């Protein structure tokens, strides 16, 4: 007979609750706000009854009832709705706080990883030399080409040379000079605006834009290394057709995360 691992089940349940706590809190908060409306509707007949009794008592004493008189006798009827509403809003606010804290942690981890990668790349070039580093990049470009099937009907443009953008997995027909002019224009916009999205890059090349293209891109804060630079790797497709693989020296990064 298999005895269930109670400790393991509890640990798994705890981790699931922690992982999904923002969603759970949002759900509880929204559900609570719906309950508030129900409680308020149910409390209204009793509140009206108390208000009528108060008004009758005042008029029996030859006094005219005021709004304050009605509030004094009716407010207790709405205590359950008020408490539920406060708790619901608290759940929603706490959900936002948890999400904000997690975003801050992820942003810090992302920045640490980004810095470590830049240092590693610099040391690779320093250790093995630029030519060997270029050869490694060419092998990576070839890998990208091999892993991205070419379907002629999905190739965009009518330029003389087949090109692959590995970031989006899209093929276009263009040429080196045209792409360089596009990159120069984009860098001009980057210097002026201080920010360039990946979708801006896709649009300028004639590629289809993506949902993540608005979140990724390049920011310019004064360093030349922050500008958009493309490396062309000459490769051959499975159909023995020359293809230029476009590689970013400075890859796109998250734009809207505060470090």
**DSSP track, 114-140:** HHHHHHHHHHHHHHH-HHHHHHHHHHH
Least confident of 115-129, 140-154, 174-188: 115-129
Are the beta carbons of 198 and 167 closer than 8 angstroms?
Answer: yes
Dump pLDDT digits (tens) for 150-195. 887 788 888 999 999 998 899 999 999 999 999 999 999 999 988 9
Same domain for 152 and 102, yes or no, is no
Same domain for 95 and 32, yes or no, is yes
| Backbone conformation region of residue 217, classed left if phi is above 0, alpha if psi is from -120 to 50, else beta | left
How far apart CA 56 and CA 75 sit, in angstroms, is: 18
Same domain for 95 and 134, yes or no, is no
pLDDT of residue 259: 41
164 closest CA partner among 68, 89, 231: 231
Dump pLDDT digits (tens) for 31-67. 888 888 888 888 888 888 888 888 888 787 777 878 8
Give residue 92's domain range.
6-107
Within-domain flag for 120: no
CA 171, distance to chain mean position in Å, is: 26
Within-domain flag for 195: yes
Within-domain flag for 85: yes
Tell me how far apart the 2 most distant CA atoms of the chain are, in Å.
103
pLDDT of residue 9: 59
Which range, 60-74, 80-94, 106-120, has the best average confidence (pLDDT)? 80-94
207 closest CA partner among 154, 151, 147, 136: 154
Same domain for 171 and 249, yes or no, is yes
Within-domain flag for 114: no
pLDDT of residue 202: 93
Overall domain count for the chain:
2
């Amino acid at each position: 007979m298999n005895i269930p691992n109670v400790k393991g089940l509890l640990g798994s349940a705890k981790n699931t609750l922690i992982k999904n706590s923002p969603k759970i809190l949002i759900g509880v908060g929204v559900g609570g706000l719906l309950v508030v409306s129900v409680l308020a509707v149910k409390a209204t007949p009793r509140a009206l009854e108390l208000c009528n009794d108060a008004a009758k008592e005042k008029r029996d004493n030859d006094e005219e009832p005021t709004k304050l008189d009605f509030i004094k006798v009716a407010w207790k009827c709405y205590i359950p709705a008020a408490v539920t509403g406060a708790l619901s809003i608290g759940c929603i606010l706490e959900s936002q706080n948890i999400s904000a804290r997690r975003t801050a942690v992820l942003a810090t981890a992302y920045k640490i990883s980004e810095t470590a990668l830049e240092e590693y790349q610099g040391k690779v070039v320093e250790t093995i030399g630029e030519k060997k580093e270029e050869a490694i990049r060419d092998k990576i470009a070839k890998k990208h080409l091999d892993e991205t099937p070419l379907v002629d009907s999905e190739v965009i443009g009518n330029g003389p040379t087949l090109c692959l953008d590995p970031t989006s997995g899209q093929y276009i027909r263009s040429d080196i000079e045209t792409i360089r002019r596009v990159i120069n224009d984009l860098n001009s916009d980057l210097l002026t605006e201080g920010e360039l999205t990946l979708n801006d890059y896709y649009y300028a090349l004639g590629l289809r834009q993506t949902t993540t293209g608005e979140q990724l891109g390049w920011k310019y804060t004064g360093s030349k290394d922050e500008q958009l630079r493309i490396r062309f790797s000459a490769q051959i497709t499975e159909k023995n057709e020359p293809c230029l693989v476009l590689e970013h020296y400075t890859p796109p990064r998250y734009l809207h995360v505060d470090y």
